[in-house]
Structure 1
Amino acid sequence: MKAAKYATGLMLGLAVTATMVTTTASAAPHSALADHLVLTNSDDGRSVVRSVGEDSEVRLTAYRERGLTYTWSMPTATNARVLGRTVGGTRPAGDAYAVLHADSPGTSTVSAVRQCHADPGHVCPRAIAPWKATIEVR
C-alpha cells in the first residue's frame, strides 16, 4: 500500500516538474532572439538597418601570428542618442565586444581599432587597422 502511494506521488511530482520546465522554456518569445544582430571581424564596412528597440552586438576576435598579437579596442558608436551601448569591453586575449541598443531613429557608425603587440624579438607593422559598420535605425 505504501509503495503504491509513493509511486503515485512520484508520478505526480514528475508531471508537475515536466509542466514547469515546459512552461519556463517557452516563456521567452522567439522574436527576442530574431531581433538580435551579431557583427564580427568579417562585417567591416557593412551597413545594416535596424528598428528602434533592437539590439546589435559587435564581437571582434583578436588573433596571433608569427610572434604578433592583434588586439581590438572596445567598439563605440558615433551617435549615442541613436545607438546606446548597454555592455562593452575587451578581454585579456584582445577580443572586444559591445551590445548597442537602437534607442531612436537615425544613423550611427560603430568603430573599433585593431592594434599590433609584438613578442620580444618581433616588430609590429606601423599601421593600425580600423573596423567600422554603419547602422541605420528606423
Structure 2
Amino acid sequence: MLGRTRLAATVVAATALIAPPALTDAQAAVRRAVGLGNGDAGRAVTVRSGDTVRVSLKAVPGDGMNWVWDEPTTSDGQVLSRSSVRTVANGDAEATFHAQAAGRAAVTAHRRCVVTAPGHVCPRAVALWNVTLDVR
C-alpha cells in the first residue's frame, strides 16, 4: 500500500510540474483579442499586456488590377511580439501579435498594385496602413 501511495504522489507531483497553470476567471477576463482591419488605418488603440491583436487586411480588387498587402510588422517587438503572419494568394494579409509589455508600438503594412489583366497599368503608388498600439 505504501508503494501505491508514493507512486500516486509522484504522478501528482510530476503532473503539477508539466501542466500549464490554469488561468483564474479574473485573469482570463483581463486578456482579450482585438481585431484590426482595413478600416482601422490611422487609429490609436489601447490594449493591456497579455492581449492578442489580430490584423486581417483584405485585398482591394480593381479593373484589371488588384491592391495587395505585404506582411504586417511591428515597430517594437519588445512591446508587441508577432506570433504568426501570412499572406494569401488573393492579396490578403494576416498577422497575430501579443502585447508583451507596457509601451507604444506601431503595426504597419503596405498595399501595392498588381496587374491582373493584360493591357492594364498600375499606378506607382504604395499605400501605408498604420495603427498605433498603446500597451498598458
TM category (shorter chain) comes to 0.7 to 0.9
Give, in angstroms, the shift of residue 33 of structure 1: 10
1:74 maps onto 2:53 in alignment: no
Higher helix share: 1
Q: Percent identity?
A: 39
- Residue 53 of structure 1 is matched in structure 2 by 50
**What is the alpha-carbon distance in structure 2 between the residues aligned to residue 88 and residue 97 of structure 1?**
6
Instruction: Give the 5 Å matches for 1:14-29.
Output: none
Unaligned residue ranges in structure 2 (runs of 5+): 1-24
Letter in 2 for 1:125: P
**What is the alpha-carbon distance in structure 2 between the residues aligned to residue 89 and residue 33 of structure 1?**
27
Give, in angstroms, the shift of residue 32 of structure 1: 6.2
Instruction: Quickly say closer, same or farther: Cα 1:128–1:120, change in 2 above 3 A.
Output: same
Instruction: Quickly say closer, same or farther: Cα 1:94–1:33, change in 2 above 3 A.
Output: farther
Aligned residues: 110
Instruction: Give the 5 Å matches for 1:1-138.
Output: 31=28, 35-118=32-115, 119-138=117-136
Answer with 1 or 2: which has the greater Rg: 1
Give, in angstroms, the shift of residue 120 of structure 1: 1.7
Instruction: Quickly say closer, same or farther: Cα 1:59–1:33, change in 2 above 3 A.
Output: farther
